[in-house]
Structure 1
């Protein structure tokens, strides 16, 4: 990339703020960018994501729904993963814009350099639908999130996006009391030939719990002191206890999730949402904000 557009610079800066857990500042940057490029699906995708991070789930749904409504006219594109974005941040700071890679890779660009896809692990369409589903789920709209996660699964080009989308669908269907449909999601998961990758945070383990391939103790042992994996797998495990009628066990696991203090994780936010809105957890104290 010989030059970096202003929109790209805003996105890179906003993503860096997110990595630093300065999510409100990330939202502010993306709002500023949208004043210059109103209605941009790409900008709305990232602002919607960060609005989830600050607990503005209604605002996130508005952004992501607006983006989703125009996706049939927007070419899908691969998105750079965090570890690669950080390298490009360094290049920009050091005044080497020519070393900044495209943050969004078109199908044509990917066809010319297939090896580059190792750096691009999701796509614009998948991200819009997935984050829309998460925001709806966190609002307690289990019915409404299902179409969004189905679209995310359909659009996904990589294992993590596919499995994560299936996982949220499974949880929502179980919460809606529709186990037969939830089993259909597990059938799709069983067809995936899983590949272990360093960046994976635990959705595969959760789905293996639901299918009976591993036990709850095995799932918990897989966390190995990893905070993000503990949060991600912990919410799935606690939710599994909950819809199987084991509320005390669910609360114990959920408390363990909050104890990690990994506040940016969607699973952490999901536990807080459970404690805030679910009468079965009435009186359960959440951790104080720093």
Structure 2
């Protein structure tokens, strides 16, 4: 396993060293959109690529020195941050072969199955992760990309249920997603996690046609919350509650504009869809697609819904 994963890194660094047509020839499809369009690693600055590659090299060294469960997870995560989901999934898969009871490895592989539009495989991984994870003890999950306050906010149990619900939602299994998000609330132990879970719970209920239950789910969300990371979800909910103009969702002062527009735009498109304005919903979903930020969950959901609306 160690030799094989080291070879993967060497191959990747070779591709980075290539230029022009040679690099394009070696580029792998990382996913296929709902309409069959191949998706490739997005362009990023040389500086960003260098920083991410350096961390990948560090993770590879740590793994080579000690191929533990945690070092395997970090190696896979570092590949994923470079949007090389093929390599990330391969690392996580080999890790699961070594550590078959690792709910954390299933959690991370399932995440990248969602990113690569393999929703049934993601559902299967999260079902297994849920079966294996401890239910009573909340485990803080370290961030790969720390927030502005360098405070880890999420936990493993939350991430398993949150992504489990998403895998179901993206397949149109809204009733099952609702049940998972209701359970996820128990692990949503701060305002950031609460708004993220509540948003997807609301959308799942609305897709079930349960508007009253959806409105009731929004009651715990209020204007005095402390939000560090999930401002986009917070704004979506405040729009659902009628406390933020829907046009504000397409404005952003965040650093990652493409991500925030994808997240907030999907919420706005959904709002139009709930209210019977399919044409405007399609227009907003297309604007999300036009950001080009295909790894974002809001983008994935917009892509799926836009494809269904065109059928």
Give the alignment's TM-score, normalised by structure 2. Answer: 0.74
Residue of structure 2 in register with 1:20 after alignment: 82
Q: Deviations over 1:100-155 (max 9, x none)?
A: xxxxxxxxxxxxxxxxx953211010000000000000011111101111122211
Q: After the TM superposition, which of the residue ranges 14-23 and 220-229 deviates more from structure 2? A: 220-229
Instruction: Note the 1:146-225 alignment, pairs <5 A.
Output: 146-190=178-222, 193-197=224-228, 199-222=229-252
Residue of structure 1 in register with 2:310 after alignment: 282
Instruction: Note the 1:35-74 alignment, pairs <5 A.
Output: 35-72=97-134
Identify if the C-alpha distance between structure 1 residues 202 and 186 changes in structure 2 by more than 3 Å, giving closer, same or farther.
same
Residue of structure 1 in register with 2:47 after alignment: none
Is 1:60–1:135's contact at 8 Å kept on the other side of the alignment? yes
Which residues of structure 1 form unaligned runs of 5+? 86-116, 284-290
Is 2:262–2:299's contact at 8 Å kept on the other side of the alignment? yes
* Structure 1 CA distance for aligned equivalents of residues 231 and 242 of structure 2: 19
* Structure 2 CA distance for aligned equivalents of residues 128 and 226 of structure 1: 27
Displacement of 1:188 after TM fit? 2.0
Identify if the C-alpha distance between structure 1 residues 196 and 157 changes in structure 2 by more than 3 Å, giving closer, same or farther.
closer
Secondary structure of residue in 2 paired with 1:78: coil
Identify if the C-alpha distance between structure 1 residues 23 and 240 changes in structure 2 by more than 3 Å, giving closer, same or farther.
same
* Structure 2 CA distance for aligned equivalents of residues 206 and 13 of structure 1: 34
Report how many aligned residue pairs link the two structures: 246
* Structure 2 CA distance for aligned equivalents of residues 217 and 84 of structure 1: 29
Is 2:119–2:171's contact at 8 Å kept on the other side of the alignment? yes
Which residues of structure 2 form unaligned runs of 5+? 1-61
Identify if the C-alpha distance between structure 1 residues 21 and 201 changes in structure 2 by more than 3 Å, giving closer, same or farther.
farther
Q: After the TM superposition, which of the residue ranges 55-64 and 70-79 deviates more from structure 2? A: 70-79
Secondary structure of residue in 2 paired with 1:77: coil
Secondary structure of residue in 1 paired with 2:83: coil
Displacement of 1:223 after TM fit? 5.7
* Structure 2 CA distance for aligned equivalents of residues 183 and 158 of structure 1: 21
Displacement of 1:187 after TM fit? 0.8
* Structure 2 CA distance for aligned equivalents of residues 14 and 60 of structure 1: 16
Displacement of 1:157 after TM fit? 2.1
Is 1:126–1:151's contact at 8 Å kept on the other side of the alignment? no
* Structure 1 CA distance for aligned equivalents of residues 210 and 136 of structure 2: 34
Q: Deviations over 1:45-102 (max 9, x none)?
A: 11111111111110011010111123346743101112249xxxxxxxxxxxxxxxxx
